[in-house]
């Protein structure tokens, strides 16, 4: 702005670490209305302050400037509104739908033994076993038995939780520069 007088309340970006004379950092500080009447008449309490003795400058610390209004498919944003978060923790409803595969291996096998020799006829139950409440004799087939194991293995599977549920940084690639606002200058005419 060297050689040109800025508009009151004009915001400019500076790459050095101090505001030029007649400018202030846009860091939300309160200014007295009595010493900054022209600037207050433009900003009012849009960015804070009590509106009686003080008002606040815009606060660009860690913020990205965006034009107010409502773009196609976007939410309405008012002048002076602040939004966004430094970090975000995803909710389950925000995670893309997905599945976890589980492989279950259940070895199935078995042996069958009998106290009676193969092709025995007749034989008694071992250890006092009874049939219909009576000690008895059973008759075995004279052919080898064919045993088939059939069944269904059912299991409830739970996977261990993954992740730490910690918030992640939500900052876009950024270059930090100083936003400053003109405290004095030409009062901007309305068009």
CB 48 within 8 A of CB 55: yes
Q: How many CB atoms lie within 10 A of CB 39?
A: 21
Give pLDDT, residue 30.
Answer: 99
Model's pTM, two decimal places? 0.64
Of residues 2, 63, 3, 1, the one with CA closest to residue 28: 63
**Cα separations (Å) of 3 from 6, 14, 94, 100, 168?**
9, 16, 52, 66, 46
> Count of domains in the chain?
1
pLDDT digits (tens, 9 = 90+) for 74-94: 999 999 999 888 888 888 888
Whether residue 58 is contained in a domain is answered as yes
Whether residue 41 is contained in a domain is answered as yes
Whether residue 186 is contained in a domain is answered as yes
Give pLDDT, residue 79.
Answer: 94
- Note down the domain range covering 41: 9-66+175-191
Phi/psi of residue 124, nearest 5 degrees? -105, 160
Distance CA(84)–CA(66), nearest Å, equals 12
If pLDDT is split at 50, 70 and 90, which confidence band does 131 have? low
- Residue 63 CA to its chain's centroid (Å): 20
Supply the CATH number for residue 36's domain: 3.90.1340
Whether residue 56 is contained in a domain is answered as yes
- The count of C-alpha atoms lying within 13 angstroms of the C-alpha of 46, restricted to the half-sphere facing its C-beta, is 15
Whether residue 18 is contained in a domain is answered as yes
Whether residue 169 is contained in a domain is answered as no
Q: How many CB atoms lie within 10 A of CB 40?
A: 20
Whether residue 165 is contained in a domain is answered as no
- The two structure tokens encoding residue 60: 């660009």
Whether residue 60 is contained in a domain is answered as yes
3-state secondary structure of 48: coil
Is the pLDDT at 129 greater than 80? The verdict is no
List, in sequence order, every residue forming a beta bridge with 47; answer none if it has no partner.
none
């Amino acid at each position: 702005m060297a050689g040109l007088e800025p508009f009151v309340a004009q915001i400019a970006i500076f790459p050095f670490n101090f505001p030029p004379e007649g400018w202030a950092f846009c860091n939300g500080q309160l200014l007295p209305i009595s010493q900054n009447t022209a600037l207050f008449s433009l900003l009012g309490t849009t960015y804070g302050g009590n509106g009686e003795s003080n008002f606040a400058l815009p606060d660009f610390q860690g913020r990205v400037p965006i034009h107010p209004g409502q773009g196609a498919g976007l939410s309405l944003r008012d002048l002076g509104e602040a939004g966004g978060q430094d970090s975000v923790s995803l909710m389950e409803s925000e995670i893309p739908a997905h599945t976890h595969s589980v492989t279950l291996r259940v070895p199935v096998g078995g042996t069958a033994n009998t106290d009676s020799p193969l092709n025995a006829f007749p034989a008694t139950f071992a250890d006092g076993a009874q049939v219909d409440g009576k000690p008895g004799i059973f008759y075995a087939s004279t052919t080898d038995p064919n045993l088939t194991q059939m069944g269904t293995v059912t299991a409830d599977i739970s996977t261990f939780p993954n992740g730490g549920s910690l918030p992640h940084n939500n900052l876009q690639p950024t270059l930090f520069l100083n936003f400053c606002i003109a405290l004095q200058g030409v009062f901007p005419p309305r068009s």
